[in-house]
Amino acid sequence: MAKTILIVDDSSSLRTVVKMALNRAGYDVLEAADGEEALARLENTAKVHLIVSDVNMPRMDGITLVTHVKQHARHRFTPVIMLTTEGQDEKKQAGKAAGARAWIVKPFNPPQLLDAVAKLILP
């Protein structure tokens, strides 16, 4: 059974690029345009094995999303990768404090993302 990954980004074109790379690697992919939509997806999905989220999004940013995810018992141990244009140390520290496990700065290359995913999702 394929592992399910939730991509959260307000850019539909970026979601498409990430989805294509993950699908080619054998992962099932769900999409959300912001943190609020992501929380709704999580509530209506049996199991999400990993979340890839942007930081800057409307309605609910990625760091706030991670904070909410980690407060739910069902998702507390779901790993999160931040995929963002933000590279400042204070943003990275805020993401880590919220519970993000990896930080990838855009632009990125798909092998870099797939490597991070493989390290965080157990077989």
What is the CATH number for 40? 3.40.50.2300
Tens digit of each residue's pLDDT (9 = 90 or more) over 60-106:
999 999 999 999 888 999 999 999 888 888 989 999 999 999 999 99
The arrangement of strands across the sheet holding 102-105 comes to 28-32, 4-8, 50-53, 80-84, 102-105
Q: Which two tokens stand for residue 49?
A: 């094995």
- Tell me which residue range forms the domain holding 50: 4-120
Q: By C-alpha distance, which of 116, 54, 47, 44 is closest to 75?
A: 47
User: What share of the chain has pLDDT > 90, as a percent?
Assistant: 81
Per the structure, the count of domains in the chain is: 1
| Predicted pLDDT at 87 | 83
What value does the mean pLDDT of the chain take?
93
**In the predicted model, is pLDDT for residue 8 greater than 90?**
yes
What's the pTM?
A: 0.94
The pLDDT value given to residue 93: 92
